[in-house]
Amino acid sequence: MNLTIFQCFHWYNTPEERLWVFLQEKAGYFAELGITHVWLPPAYKSAMGAGEPGYAVYDLYDLGEFDQKGSVPTRYGTLQEYKAAIDRLHEAGIKVLADIVLNHKLGGDKEEQIPVVTVDAENRKKWISEEHWVSAPTLFTFPGRAGKYSDFIWDHRCFTGLKLNDEIKLIRHEYTDKGWDDVPAQDRGSFDYLMGCDIEFRNPYVREELKKWAVWYREKVGFDGWRLDGLKHISYDFFPEWLNATGEIFPQKPLVIGEYWNGDMEPLNNYLEKTGYCMQLFDVPLHFRFFEGASRLHEFDLRTIRDGTLMHTKPEYAITFVDNHDTQPKQSLESFVGANFKTHAYAFILLREQGIPCVFYADFFGASYHDGGDENNQEKIVIEKVSFLEQLMRIRKEKAYGPQSDHFDSPNLIGWTRQGTDDSHTGCAVLLNTGDTAELSMEMGQKNGGRKMVVAGNNDLSVTLDEQGKGNFTAQGNIVTIYVFQD
């Protein structure tokens, strides 16, 4: 069966939604849709307790078990509910991907007096102060956990830098003698620092603790693979070493997905090469092609939709997606694909041979929330669910198999066919149209000659293939049209 990933959250899920319980209830439904993997949100305690999605990491060992940062549960529920959700998903035949956020920590328990230098925010290799001492929240003792599972104490030597009074500080100790760590992204001189207390991966004790934690985490709850956050802020050598050290904890080779946020192929190719192709990457360039398609619509040349993407150049390493929690409205990487192109984009990732697609929670279920920075001036945001998305997922599960033939002939109309397997019910023909109703001649293979195909959801529109398996397919105006074999 085709692999399909479902991102089980968005940025604005609330504690009241009890996500872990919700997923227990939906596991069977997800399996019915053909979902083979789910990506769960960060399950460990945030510095803001239940008030943040989990990316402001406080305690990696607190999975909703300890009274820390104002609550026992995380935003999504308790440890018991988390384990029950994973168990139920496994019973439904679905594998679970854990979200791994190792770039930073926030919410230190105590302050230390530490030596720092202030750096230029736009060129972080440039010092703009002499070394001086400051009081900083860099001591993490986790008093609510009281040493259970790990007695490792994080102090300032476990971190490279932090932000104080809106100034970025490089912490001075034996591991930072040469400055910031050598990370993939060199924006602003070095993009080692992102937020909070930036973890120092040159400290061997930190590396060993993070390996130990990974083994503990997998043994504790039994997930099946990793989604790795913020790759461009972490040195090239860390994750290959970390994955190698944790590989034996899985009975089967895990699916490993990395998030390297860049719309150009060169940095993604470079990362894959320098890390020995030890993971697959989210196809960020393809997301931006979709964003441009929605923004320009009729002026966008559909024939270029896959240009400069992982899906096209390294499909075996491509995790394709339309949107996620970072691109949704009001988020830091906002680039939300408009509703006028959303179905086109999902058809492109779900019904093609290349890449493994990831479906976004808010696109599937819809979402409504308020945000805007100023508490007195909150904007209401409504994300409508993509109405045809469930049907696209079912077509992927049941029909989208066999050799693929592309027909990228027109700026406003492209199509492709999947000829199917020996199972006569498989196979489909897909047309993406941003113009008026038109026809496109495509072939389904000689083995399908003489068969009748109908539009999914509209049996009144059909085409009968000739003896060679060719047919003239009508593409309805401005929408996606999918033909399947008439049973």
Any residues with CB less than 8 A from the CB of 371 and at least 6 apart, and which?
Answer: 12, 329, 330, 378, 379, 381
Digitized pLDDT (tens) for each residue of the chain, 487 residues in all = 999 999 999 999 999 999 999 999 999 999 999 999 999 999 999 999 999 999 999 999 999 999 999 999 999 999 999 999 999 999 999 999 999 999 999 999 999 999 999 999 999 999 999 999 999 999 999 999 999 999 999 999 999 999 999 999 999 999 999 999 999 998 888 899 999 999 999 999 999 999 999 999 999 999 999 999 999 999 999 999 999 999 888 988 999 999 999 999 999 999 999 999 999 999 999 999 999 999 999 999 999 999 999 999 999 999 999 999 999 999 999 999 999 999 999 999 999 999 999 999 999 999 999 997 677 788 999 999 998 999 999 999 999 999 999 999 999 999 999 999 988 899 999 999 999 999 999 999 999 999 999 999 887 889 999 999 999 999 999 999 999 999 7
Q: How far is CA 291 from CA 40, 130, 442, in A?
A: 25, 45, 27
- E strands along 103-259, which residues? 104-105, 110-120, 123-127, 132-139, 159-164, 167-171, 197-199, 225-228, 256-258
Q: Alpha helices, DSSP H only, in 74-129?
A: 79-91
Count of H-run helices and E-run strands, the chain: 10, 27
What pLDDT is recorded for position 187?
Answer: 86
- Dump pLDDT digits (tens) for 156-215: 999 999 999 999 999 999 999 999 999 999 888 889 999 999 999 999 999 999 999 999
Residue with tokens 């979402």: 367
Q: Are 76 and 19 in contact (CB under 8 A)?
A: yes
Q: Which of 62, 99, 181, 259 is catalytic?
A: 259
User: In the chain, what is the greatest distance between 2 CA atoms, to the nearest angstrom?
Assistant: 82
The string of DSSP letters for 144-178 reads TTTTSS----B-GGGEEEEEETTEEEEEPSGGGTT
Q: Are 297 and 340 in contact (CB under 8 A)?
A: yes
Give the H/E segment covering residue 19: helix 19-33
3 state DSSP class of 141: coil
Whether 264 sits among the annotated catalytic residues: the reply is: no
The C-alpha atoms of residue 154 and residue 195 are separated, in whole angstroms, by 16
Any residues with CB less than 8 A from the CB of 133 and at least 6 apart, and which?
Answer: 113, 114, 115, 116
User: Residue 407, Cα to own-chain centre: how many angstroms?
Assistant: 29
Whether 266 sits among the annotated catalytic residues: the reply is: no
What pLDDT is recorded for position 172?
Answer: 97
CA atoms within 13 A on the CB side of 189: 13
- Dump pLDDT digits (tens) for 441-485: 999 999 999 999 999 988 788 999 999 999 999 999 999 999 999
Q: Which of 81, 181, 224, 229 is catalytic?
A: 229
Assigned token pair, 148:
């259970």
Residue 316 burial by Cβ neighbours in a 10 Å radius (0-12, 13-18, 19+): exposed
CATH architecture of structural domain 105-203: Beta Barrel (2.40)
Choose which CATH entry (2.60.40.1180, 2.60.40.10, 3.40.50.720, 1.10.3720.10) describes domain 402-485: 2.60.40.1180
Give the H/E segment covering residue 319: strand 318-321
CB atoms within 10 A of CB 373: 8
The ranges assigned to domains in the chain are 5-102+205-395, 105-203, 402-485
Rg (CA), the chain: 24
Assigned token pair, 135:
């009081």
The terminus-to-terminus CA distance of the chain in angstroms comes to 20
pTM, to two decimals: 0.96
Q: For the domain 5-102+205-395, what is the CATH superfamily, name and number? A: Glycosidases (3.20.20.80)
The C-alpha atoms of residue 309 and residue 303 are separated, in whole angstroms, by 13
What pLDDT is recorded for position 424?
Answer: 85
What pLDDT is recorded for position 5?
Answer: 99
